[in-house]
Amino acid sequence: MLCDVCKENDVVITLTEIDGDGVRQVRLCERCAAERGMQTAVATPKPQIGTFLQSVHQQVTPAVGDAARCPFCSSTLRDFRQTGRVGCAQCYAAFESSLRELLRRVQGSSRHMGRAYTGPTDAEMLVAGTVSQLRERLERAIATEQFELAATLRDQLRGME
Amino acid sequence: MTFDLSQLPDGGVGWLDASGESADIVLSSRVRLARNIEGYAFAGRARDGERLRVLTQVRDAFSRISTTTDGVLVRVDQLSSLDRVLLHERHVVSKELAGLDTQSGGAREPKSGAAVHVGRSYAVMVNEEDHLRIQTMRSGLDLGRSFEEARQLDEELGAKVPFAFHREFGFLTACPTNVGTGLRASVLIHLPALVLTKEIGRVLAGLQQVGLTYRGLYGEGSEVIGNFFQISNQTTLGRSEQELLEYLESVVRHVIEKEIEARRVLVRDAGYIIEDKLWRAYGTLRYARSLTFDEAMNFLSGVRLAVGLKLISGLSVYTLNKLLIFSQSAHLSSIEGRMLTEDEANVVRAAFVRDTLDRTGE
């Protein structure tokens, strides 16, 4: 099923919105969800499993044609050849073998020897999510002139920062 | 939105103070780390909404880390074009981020969500080619401290927002030439004697042979002006940050030695010719009534060499560094409080250079 917004990528999340008249369901792809501030399971900082699965898939189907699309940003290898720029992080998994070959050619190696990276802790991601939600509610409260609510939200934010 | 540069800690030019090692030859050492945030397309392919989300996440992260308390976040996408040029002239933002990287000369706007978080000796560009470009700058040859500061920012930010990282390739970037460490270390170096003795060609070719590269005063795609060269690493994969830095530093030390040797040869073999040339450069700067930017840079290069050779005394490298930045067109326009035409800028530039040298010269 395709995303209700971009109509390009597969749906990963269904959002239920309640407004005055009733309930409405919006089906979003990972990217459109991220754009609306929703971290889907795939977009959270533990992409290792996703990357791993993709790399397994990659080994099964090593040849990626020019027309194959990245499942996240829908870039193709042809796009990359035209712009010289990769579309998103997931392109590196989607076109892994082609990009590995390219890295070996232009960089002389494809193996990172620099600092290892593990990403934020789960607790940190929770705080970050809460902070950004609070900030958004604060902005909305100011825009709609709900100043008492705004003051409360601002105090909560200060507490977290 | 108009922007007051005095808001920037140190005016964003602390690295000009000529306090570092070999500061008469090496203007600055810069380290840049390219990072992207998981869950969004890279800035070039991102939608407006994604870039704004990235900005929000980065802003939140900055508010919760400890090393950046003196920094300010500047929304580049909301600045006037003069202010954007000013930030670029200060080496705080790239042409691309400022929306100035047009081939045809027509004005282009910065992308939505383009911003920079500027502190005393760092600037983190948001939504440039990569979501984050962490840059630090130090006076003179000081890659170690420059990297140390960048590393700290990188670790703190990376503990707040999830960076795109691949188990084999390392940090993922929009351009494959930055993948891995995402590290570009560069040294802005003044090599007038190697240019005068025509040895520069060999030195530059040598750099490329050993896997380094060089660019002009403003980095990628810029021309060499005033005998300033930016020497940097070319590859970012297959070696650790430390190895990349140590290698660059050892080659730069070698280039500095070559420059010093060329200066000795110049003085020995062409003493009075060189002396005459440099004093003429100084004289022109003291008395000219109109100076183009390129002219000013070339004469300043001569005066800088004269100060290095101790021909001219009472003039500090710091003053010369400041002239390099403050005699650029947008800075002059900002002093005058209005947009100057090229001809007007040349006249104002000459007056500015005269005044500065009168105040500090011998």
Chain segment B103-161, per-residue pLDDT in tens: 544 457 888 899 999 988 899 999 999 999 999 999 999 999 999 999 999 999 999 99
pLDDT band of B102, cuts 50, 70, 90? low
In angstroms, the CA B227 to CA B189 distance is 8
**pLDDT tens digits, one per residue of B52-62:** 999 999 998 88
Residue A31 is predicted with a pLDDT of 83
Give the predicted TM-score (pTM) of the model: 0.82
Q: Which residue of A has its CA nearest to B63?
A: A161
In angstroms, the CA B179 to CA B236 distance is 6
Query: How many residue pairs bridge chain A and chain B with CB atoms within 8 Å of each other?
Result: 160
Q: Does B282 touch chain A (CB under 8 A)?
A: no
Q: Does B169 touch chain A (CB under 8 A)?
A: yes
Q: What is the mean pLDDT of chain A?
A: 78
State phi, psi for B42 to the nearest 5 degrees: -60, 155
For residue A51, pLDDT beyond 80: no
Number of C-beta neighbours around residue A156 at 10 A: 15
Q: Which residue of A has its CA nearest to B172?
A: A89
Enumerate the residues of chain B whose CB falls inside 8 A of the CB of residue A82.
none
For residue A37, pLDDT beyond 80: no
Look at residues A9, A50, A45 and name the one whose alpha carbon lies nearest to residue A27.
A9
Contact: B180, A31; criterion CB under 8 Å: no
With H, G, I as helix, E, B as strand and everything else as coil, classify residue B33.
Answer: strand
Residue A90 is predicted with a pLDDT of 93
**Percent of chain B surpassing pLDDT 90:** 60
Contact: B49, A35; criterion CB under 8 Å: yes
Residue B13 is predicted with a pLDDT of 75
Q: What DSSP designation does B224 have?
A: P
Residue B107 is predicted with a pLDDT of 56
In angstroms, the CA B217 to CA B270 distance is 28
Q: Does A70 touch chain B (CB under 8 A)?
A: no
Winning range, highest mean pLDDT, from A56-70, B66-80, B314-328: B314-328
In angstroms, the CA B118 to CA B72 distance is 5
* A117: Cβ contacts below 8 Å, ≥ 6 apart: B158, B163, B165, B170, B171
Q: Are A63 and A98 in contact (CB under 8 A)?
A: no
Residue B180 is predicted with a pLDDT of 96
Winning range, highest mean pLDDT, from A102-106, B15-19, B212-216: A102-106
Residue B82 is predicted with a pLDDT of 87
Q: Does B162 touch chain A (CB under 8 A)?
A: yes
Enumerate the residues of chain B whose CB falls inside 8 A of the CB of residue A110.
168-169, 237-238
What is the number of residues in chain A?
161
Residue A102 is predicted with a pLDDT of 93
Residue B131 burial (C-beta neighbours within 10 Å; 0-12, 13-18, 19+): buried
In angstroms, the CA B296 to CA B291 distance is 6
Residue type, B174: A
* Per-residue burial over B65-85, b = 16 or more CB atoms within 10 Å of its CB, e = otherwise: beebeebebbbbbebebebbb
Q: Does A76 touch chain B (CB under 8 A)?
A: no
Residue A41 to residues A12, A56, B235, B291, Cα–Cα distance (Å): 9, 19, 34, 60
pLDDT band of A49, cuts 50, 70, 90? very low
Enumerate the residues of chain A whose CB falls inside 8 A of the CB of residue B243.
113
Residues 220-249 of B with CB under 8 A from A: 235-241, 243
With H, G, I as helix, E, B as strand and everything else as coil, classify residue B126.
Answer: strand
Enumerate the residues of chain A whose CB falls inside 8 A of the CB of residue B51.
none
Q: Are B323 and B358 in contact (CB under 8 A)?
A: no
Residues 33-52 of B with CB under 8 A from A: 36, 38-42, 44-45, 47, 49-50
pLDDT band of B352, cuts 50, 70, 90? very high
pLDDT band of B360, cuts 50, 70, 90? confident
Residue A16 is predicted with a pLDDT of 73
* Per-residue burial over A99-132, b = 16 or more CB atoms within 10 Å of its CB, e = otherwise: bbebbeeebeebebbbbebebbeeebbebbeebb
